[in-house]
Amino acid sequence: MNVLGIESSCDETSVAVISDGKLVANLISSQDFHVNYGGVVPELSSRAHLQIVLPLLKDALSESKLTLKDINVICATAGPGLIGALLVGLTFAKGLAYSLQIPFVPVNHIEGHVYSGFLMKDKPEFPFLAVVVSGGHTLLLLVNSFTEIQKLGSTVDDAAGEAFDKVAKMLGLGYPGGPKIQKAAEHGNKEKVTFPVADLADPFNFSFSGLKTSVLRYVQKSFKDNIIPDNERNNIAASFQDAVIRAITRNAERALNNFEIKSLSLVGGVAANQPLRDALTNLAARYNKRIVIPDMQFCGDNAAMITFRGMKLFESGKRFELTYNPFPGIPENHFSI
Residues within the interface to ligand KG4 (CB under 6 A): 10, 134-136, 161, 164-165, 176-179, 182, 268-270, 272-273, 300-301
> Should residue 301 be labelled a site residue for Zn ion when binding is judged by CB under 5 A?
yes
Q: Which does 176 bind (CB under 5 to 8 A by kind): ligand KG4, Zn ion, none?
A: ligand KG4
With contacts defined by CB under 5 A, name the span among 48-56, 126-134, 223-231, 274-282 that binds Zn ion: 126-134
3-state secondary structure of 74: strand
Closest CA to 76 of 300, 316, 306: 306
x-marked contacts with Zn ion along 260-299 as a string, rule CB under 5 A:
----------------------------------------
Q: Are strands 73-79 and 2-7 parallel, antiparallel or unpaired?
A: parallel
**Alpha-carbon gap, residue 202 to 250, rounded angstroms:** 13
Identified binder of Zn ion from the candidate list 77, 134, 214, 251, rule CB under 5 A:
134
Report d(CA 72, CA 102) in Å as an integer. Answer: 6
Shortest Cβ 217–Zn ion spacing (Å): 30
Query: Is the C-alpha dihedral spanning 211, 108, 1, 26 positive or negative?
Result: negative
Question: In the bound complex, what is the minimum distance in angstroms from residue 336's beta carbon to ligand KG4?
Answer: 16
| 1, 64 Cβ separation under 8 angstroms | no
Q: C-beta of 250: minimal distance to ligand KG4 in Å?
A: 18
| 139 DSSP assignment | E
CB of 240 to ligand KG4, least distance (A): 11
Rounded Cα distance between 164 and 51, Å, is 29
Per partner kind, with CB cut-offs from 5 to 8 A, the member of Zn ion, ligand KG4, none near residue 11 is: none
